[in-house]
């Protein structure tokens, strides 16, 4: 079991609306302030979705490039850009995210119902994105929303070889309405199906946050938390800031005798070159 815990913060996402959730970081200043606070609280990776001037999700290239630069300037966090974007984003736009040259990116291994929408990731897109990550040497994190996505991960690795950085790290995204449920039995089944040698984080959406967090810690996994995944800290108590979710995850990781990994250790763990 890993001696320490990788904590990723996913502070914004593409779904929540600033008007309804004023604590959501949507400007570059808000994002950098959040990154600093979350790093101090124990995060070592930031999973980034950006917003435009009106707080709508965007994949604007210049904005993404500025975001990567500002996060590197303001923190030591590993910058992982989302290639999932919003359900309305085009495949071409999602591939072009890599032009912003992040340290890492998300790579979802299959299509999934996503509430009333569909998060589309057909095989031709998944393999194009994977090959691009290898060409550009951007370290992918394999996002697995369902058990079928694990089979696609095996297929990707079998057909195209290991990822940039040489290490396979996955994120089990559980409890999306339409994806795998966020419970310990499903977590165990997904972990058992992963490729040999792969490491994994898990995140539970909405009210599955805590069951998935406790299950992941108990099973030797790593953690993702943040307002992309949950807007409630407890029943009837909205999240006030992303850092409180990281603080709680870090405290529980310390109780599990697996304290938070610092960014330099996380870079070595994930195969990301030192800056």
Site residues for ligand KMH per CB under 6 A: 13-14, 82-84, 86-87, 106, 108, 114, 119, 143
Looking at the chain, the number of H-run helices and the number of E-run strands are 9, 14
Q: Which is nearer to Zn ion, 49 or 267 (CB)?
A: 49
The CB-of-86 to ligand KMH minimum distance in angstroms stands at 6
Give me 250's structure tokens. 């870090």
From the list Zn ion, ligand KMH, none, partner contacted by residue 269 (C-beta under 5 to 8 A by kind): none
In whole angstroms, the minimum distance from the beta carbon of 193 to ligand KMH comes to 20
Minimum Å gap between C-beta 72 and ligand KMH is 20
Window of 32-40, 74-82, 177-185, 236-244 that interacts with Zn ion by CB under 5 A: 74-82
Helix (H) / strand (E) containing 173: strand 169-174
Q: 179 by DSSP, 3-state: which?
A: strand
Structure tokens at 149: 């996505």
- The DSSP code sequence of 147-158 is HHHHHHHHHHHH
How far apart, in whole angstroms, are the C-alpha atoms of residue 38 and residue 9?
A: 7
Q: What angle do CA 247, 69, 39 make, to 5 degrees?
A: 10
d(CA 129, CA 89): 14
Cα 134 to Cα 47: distance, rounded to the nearest angstrom: 19
Smallest gap from residue 82 Cβ to Zn ion (A): 4
Q: Provide, rounded to whole angstroms, the least separation between the CB of residue 13 and ligand KMH.
A: 6
Task: Give 208's DSSP letter.
Answer: G
Q: How far is the CB of 136 from ligand KMH (least distance, A)?
A: 16
Q: Which of the stretches 75-83, 150-158, 241-249, 257-265 binds Zn ion when contact is defined by CB under 5 A?
A: 75-83
82 scored as a contact of Zn ion (CB under 5 A): yes
In sequence order, the 6+-apart residues with CB closer than 8 A to the CB of 149 are 108, 109, 110, 112, 142, 143
| Residue whose CB is less far from Zn ion, 4 or 140 | 140
CB closest to Zn ion, residue no: 82
Q: Should residue 203 be labelled a site residue for Zn ion when binding is judged by CB under 5 A? A: no
Selected range binding Zn ion among 62-70, 82-90, 210-218, 241-249, rule: CB under 5 A = 82-90
Site size for Zn ion (CB under 5 A): 2
Q: Which partner from the list ligand KMH, Zn ion, none does 86 bind, CB cut-off 5 to 8 Å by kind?
A: ligand KMH
Tokens 């604007």 belong to 60
Binding interface with Zn ion (CB under 5 A): 82, 84
């Amino acid at each position: 079991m890993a001696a320490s815990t990788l904590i990723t913060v996913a502070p914004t996402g593409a779904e929540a609306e600033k008007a309804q959730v004023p604590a959501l970081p949507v400007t570059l200043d808000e994002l950098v302030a959040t990154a600093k606070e979350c790093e101090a609280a124990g995060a070592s990776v930031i999973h980034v979705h950006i917003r435009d001037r009106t707080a709508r999700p965007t994949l604007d290239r210049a904005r993404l490039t500025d975001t990567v630069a500002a996060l590197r300037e303001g923190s030591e966090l590993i910058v992982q850009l989302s290639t999932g974007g919003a359900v309305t984003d085009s495949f071409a736009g999602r591939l072009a995210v890599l032009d912003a040259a992040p340290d890492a990116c998300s790579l979802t291994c299959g299509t999934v119902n996503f509430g009333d929408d569909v998060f589309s990731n057909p095989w031709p897109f998944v393999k194009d994105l994977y090959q691009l990550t290898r060409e550009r040497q951007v370290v992918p994190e394999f996002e697995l929303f369902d058990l079928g996505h694990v089979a696609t991960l095996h297929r990707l690795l079998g057909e195209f070889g290991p990822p940039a950085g040489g290490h396979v790290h996955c994120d089990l995204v559980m409890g999306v309405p339409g994806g795998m449920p966020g419970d310990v039995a499903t977590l165990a089944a997904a972990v058992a199906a992963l490729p040999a040698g792969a490491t994994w984080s898990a995140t539970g959406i909405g009210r599955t946050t805590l069951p998935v967090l406790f299950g992941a810690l108990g099973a030797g996994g790593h953690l993702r938390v943040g307002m992309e995944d949950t807007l409630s800290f407890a029943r009837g108590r909205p999240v006030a800031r992303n850092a409180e979710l990281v603080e709680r995850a870090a405290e529980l990781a310390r109780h599990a005798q697996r304290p938070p990994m610092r960014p330099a250790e996380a870079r070595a763990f994930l195969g990301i070159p030192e800056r």
